[in-house]
Structure 1
Amino acid sequence: MCAVPLILYGIQHYFSIAGSLILIPLVIVPAMGGTPEDTASVVSSMLMVSGLSTLLHTSFGSRLPLIQGASFVHLAPALAIIFSPEFYNLKEDRFKKTMRELQGAVIIGGAFQTFLGYSGGMSLLLRVINPVVVAPTVASVGLAFFAYGFSVVGRCVEIGIPQILALVLFALYLRKLTVFGHRIFQVYAVPLGLALTWAYAFLLTESKVYNYSGCSFSQRHNATAVLTPECQDRMATMLSCRTDVSNALSTSAWFRFPYPFQWGVPTFHWQTAVVMMVASVIASVDSVGAYHASSLLVASRAPTHGVVSRSIGLEGLTSVLAGFWGTGSAATTLTENVHTIAVTKMGSRRAVEFGACVLIVASVIGKISGFIATIPQVIVAGLLVFMWTMLAAMGLSTLRYSETGSSRNVLIVGLSLFLSFSIPSYFQQYAYDPSSSLPTSFQPYNVGAQGPFNTSSKNANFALNTIFSLHMVIAFLVAFVLDNTVPGSRQERGLYVWSKGRTARNEPAVVKDYGLAFGLSKYFNWVRWVGL
């Protein structure tokens, strides 16, 4: 490829999935009690790890044009750890102590995923995992955050609702509109929606729409200020709607190099490690779906078990790197990238690698991370509504590789999804505390110490209550058991598509392949013993 298209396509890939790259730190850092400066630091670390992980994955992993980033699969377990009594009730250094705990859990979870991949265990797992299992598992990851979505958007409806409408307009109504031969609105729905909504919110702020007589916005930093009840209500509106709430941009250094263990030495506890190990299995299932979907687009054939095993192993190693750097989440393949490949018809691995280099450079420019950290929470929630919708839709779209009209598959998927909400709801209602100071949107993640499991070990209670309150875990277990016990043909279950080395039926290549090949054994002879 010549240089100009390479640069353009590389930037295009990353802009199209910008939300997946930056939004998780904007959720978890404030939840941990971190400052805007902490948010900017975690964002820069996230950009650094994402760039490094993508380069490693395209060179030594699947060698597909897939971008690595923060995992939404690990968001719910991270929130469960953040809001556990042990860390939520800390009075001093809550952010750093909680981050170090997340680092330790992510490192152990990544090490387990590495073992799962390189030991050949993933090859065994692939024999009993197919689209009927992947679809509800991945879909439940996106649908699980319904409590956070509109409840946060509703704090400032005059900004949140127009943003969602703009995203729907770009992604659906204007999706076939082309500009110079490119579907700009379909590919860049997220960054366009972010830019327009942010500009609109900025105009409202500068127009003094959220300035109230007798209620100064500067009082939010004054601990001795006495606010009237009317001013307290209006202060909540100002904090949700104004764009000048965060001072991260003004306080960020121009250059800041993210480095490992910047928050201190990670701490390790077995109960949080077990939760992240379970999450790493679900993340592997999510990534398997992304590998197959992108491989069928790029090469019109499913990846071999050896390629998938090697890729999962490398994802584990990059998750360990994420734990070292302290991003608060593991690294995984971004499912949304598959949608970008399908829309743009471009599967250049070199373009993705160029974009990864740009991310690494951007990570050391502190003002970029500081600027990202100033995105208002309402706008973050609006973007997440769209991103989680895409994740759920991408998960359910995996069913196209199976017989979607089969009553067997319909019942398995439907029961998996229903129980994935009903069972965690039981755990959440069991642990409900009306006197809790937690925001309503975060209440579902405060079940670790108060759920129905009540053994003599507090650590075991936390692990069991947290694991069984996770929607994705229930969806995976139900779908896995039913799909492997209820009789069904290979074609009905979609196994003929995901079989080793076979070409998918009716799945012609729609993407130009630039240097992507699956005959990699001559470069990685050690892979032969991985695939079973």
Structure 2
Amino acid sequence: MKKQILAPNGQAASGGETAQGTGAGSRRATRNEEVVDMLPQTVVEDDGFISKQSHMKYELRDSPGLVPIGLYGFQHYLSMLGSLILIPLVIVPAMGGNYEDTANVVSTVLFISGLTTLLHTAFGSRLPLIQGPSFVYLAPALAIINSPEFLRLNGNNFKHIMKELQGAIIIGSAFQTILGYSGLMSLLLRFINPVVVAPTIAAVGLSFYSYGFPRVGTCLEIGAVQILLVVIFSLYLRKISVLGHRIFLIYAVPLGLAITWALAFLLTEAGVYSYKGCDANIPASNIISDHCRKHISRVKHCRVDTSHALNSSPWFRFPYPLQWGTPVFHWKMALVMCVVSIITSVDSVGSYHASSLLVASRPPTPGVLSRGIGLEGLTSLLAGLWGTGTGSTTLTENVHTIAVTKMGSRRAVQLGAGVLIVLSLIGKVGGFIASIPEVMVAALLCFMWAMLTALGLSNLRYSEAGSSRNIIIVGLSLFFSLSVPAYFQQYGISPNTNLPVPSYLLPYAVASHGPIRTGYGGLNYFLNTLLSLPMVIAFLVAVILDNTVPGSRQERGVYVWSEAETARREPAVAKDYELPFRVGRVFRWVKWVGL
């Protein structure tokens, strides 16, 4: 069978490149293994399909045995620890929740992540992709949390704000479900290309620059060590293997967290952060000593014994729907989440395409992709009912984890999801995670957001990244994704402005002072909030420019999906993507959500 090697952008390489595929190109890959990890070599066969030359240990349908599957599944989830647990540690305190609330939300997130991953790998795209609380939801969640009607509330308002957030997530998830299962997503695919996906996802990571290091600076000696360790493990020690596993690259986040936490514990026990007359549990307003006022911030942020989450958590707790109360629905917040659901769908499109090139025989069909987006909407609806504070979607970091671990087995991810559900029922696990000091959370988030930015931009490898057309589009998208929200965030703010919001959360309180002021308060809220979200601006600029500025398919890097009719004749494709338990027969009459 005749095959033609593809360049990294997904287009056919020239004849010289094809002929020398085992020459200079191979030597470059040998000198730089990470290129092989992240850029699987693809070929075009004479039937028009895209195939690949795999470097994976286990591919999609491989099942090497219960013990290896269990180990690889646990490894997969542990390597993505930061993505799974960090968002609740940010949004619950922002809602006024206490340590117990944080622990309960963490347990709920773990439970929903395991449940939705099982559903997605069985009835969604069927790719080995972990579902969880995406960072795409974080900025809009913080914007809703800092809505004007919530800023003046007193006391613990966690449940009140959570119910409002749940209502918005449920409506946005229902919209995403319709988008997927109606087939509209298949129509939108023609407008979504790597040049659109790259700046949109990169803007998600860049949008939190005002939160990251300012929070690290509250205890710089701990936060800086955390960042430094993760960087050393993931970059300088990335090629060190133990028993065939690159432990430092795969476990950079949990290893850095463990070592830094141990260091902070030793410093706390040694009395470095003990000041006479100061108690971290006493609010600053009740402290009379000027000496203590000067050190109270370091006491609160540097000590590791200020959280009571572990001690107050029960050994067993079962997360259940509507555990915070009946969701509250407001159309202005719901509309924001509907737009955000489109952004999460764009994110998932890039993840589906990249992961399929790593683990599957062919990219999915538009119908399979729509089915995956539809199920993500349903699983986000579950997240809204259970009250995780965010929707559930495919985590962008999946592609990096699969490429590094070379583990693409669907069974391994499913077994790991089962383990995650069991762990979520142990209340002490949530309490332990909720005990992570805030400065260490901020340090890990700095690394995670930087990774998210890089993973977003890596989608440009499917296009001609050196094209002046693409450079200008991506550059404009990223610049305006930061500049336009900055205008909305700074509008009406003066030194005398008194907003009851911490400085690092001011960018998310734009609804109370934005420039758009029509005669309808709800419309003002919707537009001011929406246009203050960097990923929304990046998506709008990129999708308009990429679909109006002339460019060839090769230059734009248009995603290539398998055709449904031809895919049905390929046994390997059918086994990769067809629904189990003969469920596929239900969808066979609806071509846009079937194989």
Give the Cα separation in 2 of the matches to 1:399 and 1:497: 14
Aligned to 1:114: 177
Residues 341-380 of structure 1 aligned to structure 2 (within 5 Å): 341-380=402-441
Structure 1 residues 515, 256: CA separation in 2 closer, same or farther (over 3 Å shift)? farther
1:21 pairs with 2:81:
no
The amino acid across from 2:403 in the alignment is A
Q: TM-score, normalised by structure 1?
A: 0.95
Aligned to 1:517: 576
1:529 pairs with 2:591:
yes
Larger gyration radius, structure 1 or structure 2 = 2
The amino acid across from 1:461 in the alignment is N
SS of the residue aligned with 1:69? strand
Aligned to 2:225: 162
1:69 pairs with 2:112:
no
Structure 1 residues 19, 517: CA separation in 2 closer, same or farther (over 3 Å shift)? same
How far 1:226 moved relative to its partner?
3.3
How far 1:179 moved relative to its partner?
0.8
Aligned to 1:419: 480
Give the Cα separation in 2 of the matches to 1:402 and 1:157: 40
Give the Cα separation in 2 of the matches to 1:269 and 1:157: 40
Query: Which of 50, 72, 81 does residue 9 from structure 1 map onto?
Result: 72
Structure 1 residues 196, 501: CA separation in 2 closer, same or farther (over 3 Å shift)? farther
The amino acid across from 2:348 in the alignment is S
Aligned to 1:483: 546
Aligned to 1:328: 389
Q: Check whether the contact 2:361–2:576 (CA below 8 A) recurs between aligned residues.
A: no
Query: Which of 337, 354, 366 does residue 276 from structure 1 map onto?
Result: 337
Residues 132-531 of structure 1 aligned to structure 2 (within 5 Å): 132-220=195-283, 225-299=286-360, 301-434=362-495, 435-495=498-558, 497-498=560-561, 500=563, 517-520=576-579, 523-525=583-585, 526=587, 528-530=590-592
The amino acid across from 1:301 in the alignment is R
Structure 1 residues 515, 48: CA separation in 2 closer, same or farther (over 3 Å shift)? farther
The amino acid across from 2:298 in the alignment is T
SS of the residue aligned with 1:191? helix
For residues 145-184 of structure 1, the C-alpha deviation after alignment (integer angstroms, 9 at most, x for no partner) is 0110100001100100011000100000000111111100
Structure 1 residues 352, 290: CA separation in 2 closer, same or farther (over 3 Å shift)? same
For residues 483-526 of structure 1, the C-alpha deviation after alignment (integer angstroms, 9 at most, x for no partner) is 000001111111153565799xxxxxxxxx99961355975241
How far 1:220 moved relative to its partner?
4.1
SS of the residue aligned with 1:397? helix
For residues 205-254 of structure 1, the C-alpha deviation after alignment (integer angstroms, 9 at most, x for no partner) is 11111001232445349x7x433222112111110101111101001111
Query: Which of 120, 123, 133 does residue 57 from structure 1 map onto?
Result: 120
How far 1:66 moved relative to its partner?
0.3
Structure 1 residues 371, 412: CA separation in 2 closer, same or farther (over 3 Å shift)? same
Give the Cα separation in 1 of the matches to 2:575 and 2:104: 35
Structure 1 residues 218, 448: CA separation in 2 closer, same or farther (over 3 Å shift)? closer
Give the Cα separation in 1 of the matches to 2:562 and 2:468: 23
Aligned to 2:187: 124
Give the Cα separation in 2 of the matches to 1:331 and 1:134: 19
The amino acid across from 1:284 in the alignment is S
Give the Cα separation in 2 of the matches to 1:143 and 1:92: 32
How many residues in Structure 1 have an aligned counterpart in Structure 2?
A: 521
Which stretch of the first structure deviates more once superposed, 437-446 or 178-187?
A: 437-446
Give the Cα separation in 2 of the matches to 1:152 and 1:388: 14
SS of the residue aligned with 2:306? coil
Give the Cα separation in 2 of the matches to 1:68 and 1:359: 12
Give the Cα separation in 2 of the matches to 1:263 and 1:208: 39
How far 1:135 moved relative to its partner?
0.3
Q: Check whether the contact 1:348–1:515 (CA below 8 A) recurs between aligned residues.
A: no
The amino acid across from 1:70 in the alignment is P
SS of the residue aligned with 1:275? helix
Superposition misfits of 4+ residues, deviation over 4 angstroms: 498-503, 513-516, 519-523
Q: TM-score, normalised by structure 2?
A: 0.85
Structure 1 residues 496, 248: CA separation in 2 closer, same or farther (over 3 Å shift)? closer
Give the Cα separation in 2 of the matches to 1:210 and 1:241: 7
Give the Cα separation in 2 of the matches to 1:440 and 1:411: 33
- Structure 2 gap ranges (5+): 1-63, 567-571
Give the Cα separation in 1 of the matches to 2:476 and 2:276: 54
Structure 1 residues 163, 268: CA separation in 2 closer, same or farther (over 3 Å shift)? same
The amino acid across from 1:524 in the alignment is G
Give the Cα separation in 2 of the matches to 1:174 and 1:501: 44
Query: Which of 147, 152, 155 does residue 89 from structure 1 map onto?
Result: 152
How far 1:318 moved relative to its partner?
0.4
Q: Check whether the contact 1:302–1:500 (CA below 8 A) recurs between aligned residues.
A: no
Q: Check whether the contact 1:113–1:316 (CA below 8 A) recurs between aligned residues.
A: yes
Q: Check whether the contact 1:36–1:248 (CA below 8 A) recurs between aligned residues.
A: yes
SS of the residue aligned with 1:332? strand
Aligned to 1:506: none
Give the Cα separation in 2 of the matches to 1:292 and 1:75: 24
SS of the residue aligned with 1:335? coil
SS of the residue aligned with 2:576? coil
The amino acid across from 1:257 in the alignment is F
Aligned to 1:509: none
Give the Cα separation in 2 of the matches to 1:145 and 1:518: 36
Structure 1 residues 218, 118: CA separation in 2 closer, same or farther (over 3 Å shift)? closer
SS of the residue aligned with 1:127? helix
Give the Cα separation in 2 of the matches to 1:199 and 1:515: 49
Give the Cα separation in 1 of the matches to 2:460 and 2:364: 18
Give the Cα separation in 1 of the matches to 2:332 and 2:165: 12
How far 1:44 moved relative to its partner?
0.7
SS of the residue aligned with 1:258? coil
Give the Cα separation in 2 of the matches to 1:322 and 1:216: 37
Structure 1 residues 496, 55: CA separation in 2 closer, same or farther (over 3 Å shift)? closer
How far 1:432 moved relative to its partner?
2.5
- Give me the CA root mean square deviation: 1.9
